[in-house]
Amino acid sequence: MKSRLSGNEAVAYAMKQVNPDVMGAFPITPSTEIAEYFAAYVANGEVNTEFVTVESEHSSMSVCIAAQAAGARSVCATSSCGLALMYELLYVAASCRLPITLACVNRALSGPININHDYSDSMGARDSGWIQIYAENNQEAYDNFIMAIPIGEAPEVRLPVMTCMDGFITSHAVENIELLDTGVVRQFVGEYSPQHYLLKKENPLAVGPYDISAYYMEHKVQEAEAMKAAKARILEVAKEFEKISGRRYGLFEEYRMEDADLALVIMGSSAGTGKTAVDKLREAGIKAGLVKIRVFRPFPGEELAQTLAGTRAVAVMDKSEGFSANGGPLFAETRSALYDLKQRPYLINIVYGLGGRDIKVEDFEQVFKRLASIAESGDIHPVYSHMGHRTKGAIA
């Protein structure tokens, strides 16, 4: 079914089609609308979810953890500081192996307070044990949310999944979208039937122990193994999803990478702008390409290295600062992934778009220009730099 929806409404609609058992809801810009749409579905009797309107994101995640442990399929949505407030519990959710689904509408973290897009919120949670899947547009945000459920709930995975979309750019822009039939979605996600849960009559369960050093490490290794297993599961679910939707997904998307010399590694909606720049350069005879990372956790390191192996120079575009003084988080992962290649491309990192700062096709053309010069000269300095900010002189 063709429709026109904002990213938030698309995700809320996916939630409605899933009809989860429990939703924890707390407002924060720009994800607020998801809870609002869902509240309307509840009020109109279109879902029979237990809708828990908590007093904070911390409680929202606490409700989801407890509900999922009790045997209920649980969802929530948040952004920015809301995700940061959940931080402690994100680890708890993952370590208890509870496949909660969270729609993260990415927004810059305070401070200073800013409501616009970058990835500082979910990048801060990248080591929490959650699977992270990023969308470029509304269609992907919708599709990713539906796929998240059978990914997270697979017995070999049992990890929570965060489906991310760009705040305002994706969440609030209305785009054409292809929606699946509700019956098809219900069948695709199936019933949540965990083996063990608190409300199981035959066998009481204890969740969340004090786990001393004699056991903690084994549990963490199991969690790490689950994250490794998630990669195959994500691809398996993508294959199944293609059958019902005709849309194809991988761990990342390769755009004109077949013979690319110069490439960008990027995430989210900026990839669309980057693709336009690639097209322009291709017209001019420059072998440009782009890799859009869709799955950040588990990180597709080996696959990405394969894809970038034939290139000469690559710019990793980070839309969040890591304050490591050594580049952003996507750069750290990408550079590490390339280490095992016999012949590596030159690699630079550009941090851009913080707090919603715009990036244009011309900006990407500049990046490619620099990559072309690096490919010639081999001079990669500065390896890590910022783009799109005013300099001291310009402000004066």
Partner 1 sequence: MSKVYNLKREVEKPPRLTGGHRLCAGCGAGVVVAGVLRALNKEDRAVVVNATGCVEVSTFMYPYTAYTDSFIHSAFENAAATCSGVEAAYKALQRRGKVNGVVKFITFAGDGGTYDIGFQSLSGAMERGHDMVYVCYDNEAYMNTGIQRSSSTPRFARTTTSPVGSAGQGKPQNKKDITEIMVAHHIPYVAQTAPLGNFKDLHIKSHKAIYTEGPCFLNILSPCPRGWDYPASKLAEITRLAVETCVWPLFEVEEGIWRLSYIPKKKLPVEEFLRPQGRFRHMFLKGNEWMIETAQAYVDEKWERLLERTGA
* Binding residues for partner 1 (CB under 8 A): 21-22, 24, 48-50, 52-56, 58-59, 62-72, 74, 88-89, 92, 96, 198-201, 204-212, 215
Residue 240 CB, shortest distance to partner 1, in Å, is: 25
Residue nearer to partner 1 on the CB measure, 70 or 173: 70
SS3 296: strand
Residue 59 CB, shortest distance to partner 1, in Å, is: 4
The tokens for 174 are 């209305």
Residue nearer to partner 1 on the CB measure, 200 or 228: 200
Residue nearer to partner 1 on the CB measure, 66 or 131: 66
Residue 200 CB, shortest distance to partner 1, in Å, is: 8
Residue 51 CB, shortest distance to partner 1, in Å, is: 9
Please enumerate in sequence order all residues whose Cβ is within 8 A of that of 74, keeping only pairs 6 or more positions apart, or say none.
20, 21, 22, 23, 24, 63, 64, 65, 67, 68, 98, 100, 101
As beta bridge partners, residue 51 has 23
Please enumerate in sequence order all residues whose Cβ is within 8 A of that of 185, keeping only pairs 6 or more positions apart, or say none.
14, 17, 18, 146
Residue nearer to partner 1 on the CB measure, 23 or 165: 23
Given a contact cutoff of 8 angstroms between Cβ atoms, the answer to whether 294 and 268 are in contact is: no
Residue nearer to partner 1 on the CB measure, 48 or 276: 48
Euclidean distance between the first and final Cα of the chain, in Å?
53
SS3 75: strand
Residue 36 CB, shortest distance to partner 1, in Å, is: 18
Given a contact cutoff of 8 angstroms between Cβ atoms, the answer to whether 312 and 261 are in contact is: yes
Residue 203 CB, shortest distance to partner 1, in Å, is: 9
SS3 330: helix
Please enumerate in sequence order all residues whose Cβ is within 8 A of that of 166, keeping only pairs 6 or more positions apart, or say none.
7, 105, 106, 117, 135, 268, 269
Residue 22 CB, shortest distance to partner 1, in Å, is: 5
Please enumerate in sequence order all residues whose Cβ is within 8 A of that of 53, keeping only pairs 6 or more positions apart, or say none.
25, 26, 35, 39
Residue nearer to partner 1 on the CB measure, 130 or 241: 130
Residue nearer to partner 1 on the CB measure, 17 or 138: 17
Residue 62 CB, shortest distance to partner 1, in Å, is: 4
Given a contact cutoff of 8 angstroms between Cβ atoms, the answer to whether 33 and 168 are in contact is: no
Residue 164 CB, shortest distance to partner 1, in Å, is: 23
Residue nearer to partner 1 on the CB measure, 1 or 212: 212
Residue nearer to partner 1 on the CB measure, 111 or 204: 204
At CB < 8 A and 24+ separation, what contacts does 229-237 make? 229/154, 229/156, 229/157, 230/131, 230/151, 230/157, 230/159, 230/298, 231/295, 231/298, 231/300, 233/151, 233/154, 233/156, 233/157, 234/131, 234/133, 234/147, 234/151, 234/295, 234/298, 237/147, 237/150, 237/151
Residue nearer to partner 1 on the CB measure, 14 or 89: 89
93 closest CA partner among 55, 123, 120, 131: 131
Residue 178 CB, shortest distance to partner 1, in Å, is: 29
